[in-house]
């Protein structure tokens, strides 16, 4: 059956995958979040497991079932995701950050439900969340570190900047404004960027296929 599952080229590896959105609490009944479905990250987790890896999946809230045999750590906020990722990072040989982490959170989560007042406008103050991937880049050691870049403009330039600034081995650049790519669809259209300047353009394919292509490259980097 291994032939059906594909190559067991990740046997002996521990792959840490993050997936889904985060939710940032505003009050007891409301939160800020984004449209991430978690599909890309869950596809990577399942593909890595099928290729023989031990897989740790740190996931924000999604409607997906965890792939069988994967160690699932469920989190809600960006700060919880950071805690879970940093706790697991030391045991990982490969980290793939597919999660759409909220960049900002409400500066204060109100203890009680925020009430409508007479005013026609409400101003929220947000503060920055920690950049988990950048932090991983600073404690990288021998690990392979893969990020995603969700962009709606200047895809390659923005993705290259993230690749360099976060100290990654590869970034998956994702134009989320294209139909058939990005949030909450079953397909994706990505480019893989490397520190040496190479760009590999992949056609539209299922998120499962994208996951396997990405893991082909990761397995190659581990061997190199």
Among 58, 36, 95, which residue's Cα sits nearest to residue 215?
95
183 is in an annotated binding site: no
Measured torsion, CA atoms of residues 156, 170, 101, 138, in degrees rounded to the nearest 10: -120
34 is catalytic: yes
Using CB under 6 A, pick the residue from 27, 131, 209, 216 that binds ligand CTP.
131
Q: Is 103 in the site for ligand CTP (CB under 6 A)?
A: yes
Q: Which is nearer to ligand CTP, 6 or 135 (CB)?
A: 135
Give the one entry of ligand CTP, Ca ion, none that residue 49 binds, where binding means its C-beta sits below a cut-off of 5 to 8 angstroms depending on kind. none
- 87 in Cβ contact with 123 (< 8 Å): no
Q: Which helix (H) or strand (E) holds 199?
A: strand 199-201
43 to 82, contacts with Ca ion by CB under 5 A?
A: none
Using CB under 5 A, pick the residue from 2, 5, 103, 186 that binds Ca ion.
103
Give the one entry of ligand CTP, Ca ion, none that residue 147 binds, where binding means its C-beta sits below a cut-off of 5 to 8 angstroms depending on kind. ligand CTP
Cα separation, 18 vs 48, whole angstroms: 13
In whole angstroms, how close is the CB of 22 to ligand CTP at the nearest point? Answer: 8
131 is in an annotated binding site: yes
Q: Which is nearer to ligand CTP, 93 or 129 (CB)?
A: 129
CA 22-26-30 angle, to 5 degrees, is 80
Q: Quote the distance between the C-alpha of residue 81 and its chain's center.
A: 11
Q: Is 211 in the site for ligand CTP (CB under 6 A)?
A: no
**Helix residue ranges, H only, 20-151:** 39-50, 78-89, 132-138
Would you call 15 exposed, middle or buried from its count of C-beta atoms within 10 A (0-12, 13-18, 19+)? buried
77 to 96, contacts with ligand CTP by CB under 6 A?
A: 78
Using CB under 6 A, pick the residue from 59, 129, 188, 219 that binds ligand CTP.
129
Q: Is 127 in the site for ligand CTP (CB under 6 A)?
A: no
Give the interface segment with ligand CTP, choosing from 37-45, 142-150, 190-198, 216-224 (CB under 6 A): 142-150
Residue 180, by phi and psi: left (phi above 0), alpha (psi -120 to 50) or beta? left
Cα separation, 16 vs 211, whole angstroms: 14
Would you list which residues are annotated within the binding site for CTP? 103, 113, 130-133, 148, 162, 166
Per CB under 5 A, residues contacting Ca ion are 103
Per CB under 6 A, residues contacting ligand CTP are 78, 97, 99, 101, 103, 129, 131-133, 147-150, 162
Catalytic residues: 34
């Amino acid at each position: 059956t291994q032939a059906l599952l594909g190559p067991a080229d990740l046997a002996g590896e521990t792959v840490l995958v993050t997936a889904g959105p985060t939710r940032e609490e505003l009050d007891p009944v409301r939160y800020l979040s984004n449209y991430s479905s978690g599909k890309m990250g869950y596809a990577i987790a399942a593909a890595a497991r099928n290729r023989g890896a031990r897989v740790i999946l740190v996931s924000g809230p999604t409607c997906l079932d965890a792939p069988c045999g994967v160690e699932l750590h469920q989190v809600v906020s960006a700060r919880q995701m950071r805690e879970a990722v940093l706790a697991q990072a030391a045991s990982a040989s490969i980290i793939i950050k597919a999660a759409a982490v909220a960049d900002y959170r409400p500066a204060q989560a109100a203890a009680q439900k925020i009430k409508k007042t007479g005013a026609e406008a409400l101003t929220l103050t947000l503060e920055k969340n920690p950049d988990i991937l950048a932090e991983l880049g600073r404690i990288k050691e021998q690990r392979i570190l893969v990020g995603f870049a969700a962009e709606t403009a200047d895809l390659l330039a923005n993705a290259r900047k993230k690749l360099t600034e976060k100290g990654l081995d590869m970034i998956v650049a994702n134009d989320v404004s294209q139909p058939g790519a990005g949030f909450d669809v079953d397909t994706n259209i990505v480019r893989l960027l490397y520190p040496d300047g190479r760009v590999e353009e992949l056609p539209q394919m299922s998120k499962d296929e994208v996951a396997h292509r990405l893991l082909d490259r990761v397995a190659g980097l581990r061997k190199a």
